[in-house]
Amino acid sequence: MIFFKRLFDFILFGNIYVALGAVCLIQSTIVQLDSSNHIIFYSLLTFFATLFIYNLQRVFYSPQKDNSLHSIRRKWIFENQFSIKTLYIIGFIGVAITFFYNDYKIIFYLSPLLILSIAYFLPFIKLRQNTWFKLLTLAIVWTTVTAIVPALLNDTDLFSGTNILHFFVRFTFLISICIPFDIRDMEVDKAENIFTLSQKLGENKTRWIAVGFMFIYILLIATEFFLEMFSMKIFIALMLTAIVNIIIVFMSSSKRSEYFYSALLDGTMILQGVVLIGVNYL
């Protein structure tokens, strides 16, 4: 049991899990846009890039004087710096290798996102300290990587009504699962002078805003279906996963454990991708 617990923590807190989430969202886009090109090498590049960026930022974490702020996740990070560094090196090597299997124009798509992602967590730049910038940066970067770039790589019209609607669908989904992480990090962010939505509005109002975005997400999914962008089975799969998302977002609280956020909330990305892929090939 101890071995499996350590393995689970390694996958979860070592950001392998969230990197898989990125891959699942890319494949979800492929299914929703009914593309025949599954851009496997781009998916692999994204997996390793997520592994690299997310573990690199863990190196800049600093322990809090107040031990009560050291969550299970943060304790794992501080106690496993060798694993963190190994994972971001693996991520970097993976990016370097898979880059050559992708269209070279991808560098023009991803370079600005790389710079923005690094600037986001570097302590001397402090982009994270702006309430809305922190939230919007995460949602925009993830939307671009998992929806906009896949559309570009599939040579579709980026500004077509279908694509633009899908980008908004992905953006609202990501906003809705990003907001609860502000609730999770309320005390840590306060100690680091990072002013988030939950600190300004309170936990309850922030949670309802996240739920509100989930309802917008559902309305946009319904719009996609009525515009015949995908089949009934894809629509049902999206609606069922959206209902699960609403329940999880509504359950978010500052008192929830790290496993709730890292496993369940991040897991909504994996759930969406796996269910859509499964339904699409039935």
The fold adopted by the segment(s) 2-280 is Farnesyl Diphosphate Synthase (1.10.600)
pLDDT at residue 189, as a whole number: 64
Q: Exposed, middle or buried by CB within 10 Å (0-12, 13-18, 19+), for 154?
A: middle
Q: Does position 27 have pLDDT exceeding 70, yes or no?
A: yes
Q: Residue 87 is inside which H or E element, if any? A: helix 81-99
- In this prediction, residue 10 has a pLDDT band, given cuts at 50, 70 and 90, of very high
- In this prediction, residue 69 has a pLDDT band, given cuts at 50, 70 and 90, of low
Model confidence, pTM: 0.91
Number of helices and strands in the chain (H, E): 15, 0
Q: Where exactly are the structural domains of the chain?
A: 2-280
- CA dist 112 and 281 (Å) reads 35
The answer to whether the beta carbons of residues 29 and 167 sit under 8 Å apart is: no
pLDDT at residue 131, as a whole number: 63
